[in-house]
Amino acid sequence: MKTYRRVFLKTLFKIGLFSLLPIKLNAFSQQKDCLTTADIEGPFYIPNAPNISILTPPGVSSNLLFITGTVYANDCITPIPNAIVDVWHANQGEYQQETGLYLNSVYDDTFYRGKIYTDINGNYAYQTILPGKYLNGNYYRPSHIHYKISYLEQNEVTTQLYFNGDSSIEIDPWASSGSAENRIINLSNDKNNNLNGVFDVTLNVQPEMIEQTNLTQNKVIKSIFPNPVNSQSCIFLQNHDNISIEICDINGKTIGHINNVNSNKVRIYDILDVDTKKGIYLIRIIKNKKAIDAKRFTI
C-alpha cells in the first residue's frame, strides 16, 4: 500500500494533475488579490523538518488527505521551481490519547510534518490526514495545516490552510478574518474514501528572480483562471490544434466535453452545467485519442 501511494503521487506529477496555473487578467484581478496572506505561526513549529511528502505513520492507510498545489511568483502566472513548502499540523488521536496534539519533541517529531520542494513546474503534493481540533481557551480551533513557504530563503510567508464547512471557522479570529478567505478550500472524496484538496500559493517574488529551468514546453493547458471557477473562468490553451477537452470528476467520470477546439480560450461553463456541485474536477486534453495534458480545478 505504501509503495502504491508513492507511485500514485509520482504519477500525478508526471501528467500534471497537481498543477493549477492562474493567469493574471485585468478584468478579473489585481496582483494583490492573488498573493497568499499570512497567518500566525503558532508555538509548535520545529525547524529542519524531514524532506518527505508522506506525512502519515506507516499504520495509517485509509481516510487519507491528499493536498496538491502550485507555488507562483507575484505575477500570478510564473511557477516557482525549488520553492520550499514546509507543513505541519496536529494529529487525529491515533497514536495519542487526545486528539489535536502536535507531534513535537515531547512525542515524536517524525510524523505530520514535512518539507516539500516544488518541481520544475512549481507543483507540490503531500499525503496526510485531516488534522484534529484542539481547545484554544473556551472554543475549538478549526482543523488547519500550517505552512511556511519560501524561495531561495527569501520572501517567506507563514500561513494556515483551513477547510470549507468547518463549524469552528466562524468563531476563530484567524480563520474568520477576511484575509483567510482564499485559504479556506473545498475537499472532495475520491472512490477510495480519501479526501483531496487543491491549495495554490503566490509568493511576493519577482518573476525575474526565478532561476531559469527547462519548463515543460509541450503542455497544452496554459492556465485556468479564475480558480476556484466562476461564470467568467476560462481555460487558456497553447499548442491547441486538433484537440478535445474533457472535464471529469475526481473519480474520473466524464461530465462534460467539447471536440475540435479551435480557440486559445474556452469558457469552462460552456462545457459544464452551471449547477455543477462544488468540488474538485479535472480538465483533460485529448489528442489522437490519447490524454496529453491535465490539470485540477475547484468549484
For 29-45, the DSSP string reads --HHHHSPPP----TT-
H helix intervals, 50-131 = none
Amino acid 146: pLDDT: 97
Residue 242 has a pLDDT of 85
Note the pTM of the prediction, 2 decimals.
0.77
- Residue 238 DSSP code: S
Inter-residue contact 88 to 146 (CB < 8 Å) = yes
DSSP label at residue 196: E
Contacts of 65 (CB under 8 A, 6+ apart): 127, 128, 129, 130, 187, 194, 195, 196, 197
Q: Are strands 243-249 and 201-202 parallel, antiparallel or unpaired?
A: unpaired
Could you read off the pLDDT of 156-203 as tens digits, one per residue? 999 999 999 999 999 999 999 999 999 999 999 999 999 999 899 999
Residue 93: CB atoms within 10 A of its CB come to 12
Q: Which of 94, 29, 46, 61 lies closest to 227 in space, CA to CA?
A: 29
For the chain, first and last CA: distance in Å? Answer: 31
| Residue pair 284/297 in contact by the 8 Å Cβ criterion | no
Which three three-digit cell numbers place residue 47?
525547524
Q: What is the pLDDT of residue 99?
A: 52
Q: What letter represents residue 56's amino acid?
A: T
* Cα–Cα distance for residue pair 285/266, rounded to 1 Å: 12
pLDDT at 240: 79
Q: Could you read off the pLDDT of 97-155 as tens digits, one per residue?
A: 445 555 543 335 678 999 999 988 788 999 999 999 988 889 999 999 999 999 998 88
Parallel, antiparallel or unpaired: strands 195-198 and 188-189: antiparallel
CA trace torsion 91, 48, 120, 213 (10° rounding): 170
Considering the chain, what is the average pLDDT of its residues?
82
Q: Within the chain, what is the greatest distance between any pair of CA atoms?
A: 60
The answer to whether residue 266 scores a pLDDT higher than 90 is yes
pLDDT at position 19 is 40
CA–CA distance, 228 with 173 (Å, rounded to integer): 24
Looking at domain 221-298, its CATH architecture is Sandwich (2.60)
pLDDT at site 262: 86
Identify the CATH class of 2-209. mainly beta
Find the helix or strand (DSSP H, E) in which 7 lies. Answer: helix 2-15
**Cα separation of 132 and 163, whole Å?**
12
Q: Which of 20, 34, 9 is nearest to 205 (CA)?
A: 34
Whole-number Å distance between alpha carbons of 194 and 12: 15
The pLDDT score that the predictor gives to residue 119 is 86
Residues in the chain: 299
Using one digit for the tens of pLDDT, what is the confidence trace for 224-262?
Answer: 777 778 888 889 887 778 899 999 998 889 999 999 998
pLDDT at 2 over 90: no
Per-domain residue ranges for the chain?
2-209, 221-298
- Phi, psi angle pair for 32, to nearest 5°: -60, -25
Give the pLDDT confidence of 56-84 residue by residue, as tens digits: 988 888 899 999 988 989 988 788 999 99
